[in-house]
Chains A and B, each alone.
Chain A
Amino acid sequence: MPGKRDNSHYQFLAKKWTNRHRELQSKIFTQHEEAFKWLADNSKQFVVGSLAGILLLTSPVLDKIPQSLSSAAAQVKTIDKKVFLVYDLRNVLPNEVRPLTPDEEKNVSEILSRSFDFSIQTELEGKRLNTTYGIIGQEQHLAKYPGDNMFTHFDNSNEAEKYWSYGMAPGLGAWGYFADSSGALTKKDIDREKYYIAVQTFLAPGFDSNPKAYTDFFKYRKMLVVNPQNGKAVVADIADAGPSPWTGKQLGGSPEVMSYLERFDGSQKGAVLYFFIDDPNDTIPLGPVNL
């Protein structure tokens, strides 16, 4: 059987030239942003409807990447579109991390809905969280079923190696175990633990008036969590309540969520956007979302 062809030359060049192009685009966009914004606002013929879309039109690369190419090409496309998302969000987000105004939330949800092609909402069924823009902290793994521990928790050795150090939370998630036993564990249960977030459900406007209704609503509710600085996004589910307001953080992310978003705790902590996903038929899978 022939050995796998070594395409390291290609990967080296694709990475280097993609990065070069990305940097050039960023430079152009940053230095001439006002002109691009003017074009986006004044060109009726462009249905793209965003600043990012206009920049895409001025670049020939995206529609020329062969679709048959492997993950390297897909990565190029992903990287470029993320850059545009970052720029679009930069135009509407405040400089400081604080609850967004209704207008800001509307602008952000429009950008996210357009970018990710599913319905992103600030409020669902008349319920919302205390904020949609906040500092995210690091959470630990949650026990998925009675008896789940660090030795049984991971699907494979790679995951164990990558995420072992975060440890297991001493208590259960807000809704208890994800399954009654290891035998009853489904992929959905596994993903719900893997891509969970903890949000301040107890601070939701109206929570105190009807805690049960709010708890039922928040249980495993899907949210799109976006790092506005790199455009990376995860479809996550609410599986825990927290953190306490005194921490200065507004939500927490599982080790897998934090790793994908490239968000860290401590001195390097940063903000994310988190909006409800309107998915009544449960068709949108949990996990990282590629643009």
Chain B
Amino acid sequence: MKNKFFYTRLIETTDVSLKLTEIDLSQDEKTHLTSLMEANIHSTVIDTVLSELSKEDKKIFLRNLVSDDHKKTWEHLNGRIGKLEEKIIKAVEKLKEDLIKDLIEAKNYRMTIK
């Protein structure tokens, strides 16, 4: 089965998902928060990659990204960015740390009901 995004094989989100299960959430709420987590990961990866590329390579990357051609995306990026996989993993790990902090904070959070 084709991976969802070119970076999917690098990303492990079990730790965040497990923390989500510790909070009282409906299925819809879990689904929504999971999609928000994925969106944050996606934007983090895109930001990490774009920040490493030249003006012209940014265009090529975006074109490959929206055409959903993972092979082409990696071939292009590997020739342009050193240790790209490490950089993506590091950026996403930092994001996940922040998300887990949010989840811990949320467990203790009570909204004032007006």
Task: Report which A residues bind B (CB closer than 8 A).
Answer: 5-14, 16-18, 20-21, 24-25, 27-28, 31-32, 34-36, 38-39, 43, 46, 54, 57-61, 64-66, 68-69, 72-73, 76
Answer whether A46 and B66 are a contact pair too, CB < 8 Å, given A28-B47, A60-B42.
yes
- What would 9 more interface pairs be, CB under 8 Å, given A7-B29, A12-B105, A28-B43? A5-B26, A9-B106, A16-B102, A17-B102, A20-B40, A34-B58, A35-B62, A61-B35, A65-B35
A118 to B51 Cα, complex, angstroms: 38
Which listed residue (A24, A58, A64) contacts B65, Cβ 8 A? A58
Across-interface contacts of B43 in A (CB, < 8 A): 21, 24-25, 28, 59
Indicate which residue in B31, B47, B59, B103 contacts A38 across the interface (CB closer than 8 Å). B59
Contact A66 B106 (CB under 8 A): no
Known: A58-B66, A66-B31. A9 touches B39 (CB 8 A): no
> Bound state CA distance, A10 and B107, in angstroms?
10
- A10 to B35, Cβ gap below 8 A? no
Kindly state the interface size class of chain B when it binds its partner: 35 or more
Contact B24 A61 (CB under 8 A): no
How many angstroms from the CA of A237 to the CA of B38 in the assembled complex?
Answer: 42
Interface on chain B toward A: helix, strand, loop, or mixed SS? Answer: helix
With A9-B24, A20-B40, A28-B43: A69-B107 Cβ-Cβ less than 8 Å: no
Contact of B62 among A21, A25, A27, A39 (CB under 8 A): A39
Among the listed A5, A27, A61, which residue makes an inter-chain contact with B47, where contact means beta carbons less than 8 Å apart? A27
Q: How far is the CA of A87 from the CA of B41 in the complex (A)?
A: 22
Q: State the CA gap A44–B78 with chains docked (Å).
A: 27
The chain A residue with its CB closest to the CB of B67 is A45
CB of B46 within 8 A of CB of A58, answer yes
Q: Is the CB of A65 within 8 A of B44?
A: no
- What's the least CB distance linking B10 to chain A, in Å? 16
Q: Are B109 and A12 in contact (CB under 8 A)?
A: yes
Q: B110 to chain A: which residues have CB within 8 Å?
A: 6, 8
Q: Contact: A21 with B58, CB < 8 Å?
A: no
* B63 interfacial contact with A, CB 8 Å: yes
Q: 8 Å CB contacts to A: which residues of B35-75? A: 35-40, 42-44, 46-47, 50-51, 55, 58-59, 61-63, 65-66
Task: Say yes or no for B15: interface residue by CB 8 A criterion.
Answer: no
Q: A18-B36, A59-B39, A66-B32 are in contact. Are A13 and B58 (CB under 8 A)?
A: no
A21→B40 contact, CB < 8 A: yes
Q: Of all chain A residues, which has the CB nearest B39?
A: A61
For the complex of A and B, 8 pairs with smallest distance between CB atoms: A61-B39, A8-B111, A35-B58, A64-B35, A24-B43, A17-B36, A10-B29, A12-B109
Given known A-B contacts A21-B39, A28-B43, A43-B66, A10 and B50 have beta carbons under 8 A apart? no
A66 touching B28, Cβ below 8 Å = yes
In the complex, what residue of chain B is closest to A37 when comparing beta carbons?
A: B59
The residue in chain A whose Cβ has the minimal distance to the Cβ of B29 is A10
Flag whether B11 is at the interface (Cβ < 8 A): no
Closest chain A residue, CB of each to CB of B36: A17
In chain B between 59 and 114, which residues have their CB closer than 8 angstroms to a CB of chain A?
Answer: 59, 61-63, 65-66, 98-99, 102-103, 105-107, 109-111, 113
Q: How far, in whole Å, are A20 and B66 apart by their CA atoms in the complex?
A: 23
Q: B107: nearest residue on chain A (CB-CB)?
A: A9
Contacts of B46 in A (CB 8 A): 28, 58
Set of chain A residues within 8 Å of B61, measured between Cβ atoms:
35
- Residues of A near B37 (CB, < 8 A) are 17
Please measure, in the bound complex, the distance between the C-alpha atom of A28 and the C-alpha atom of B31, giving whole angstroms.
25
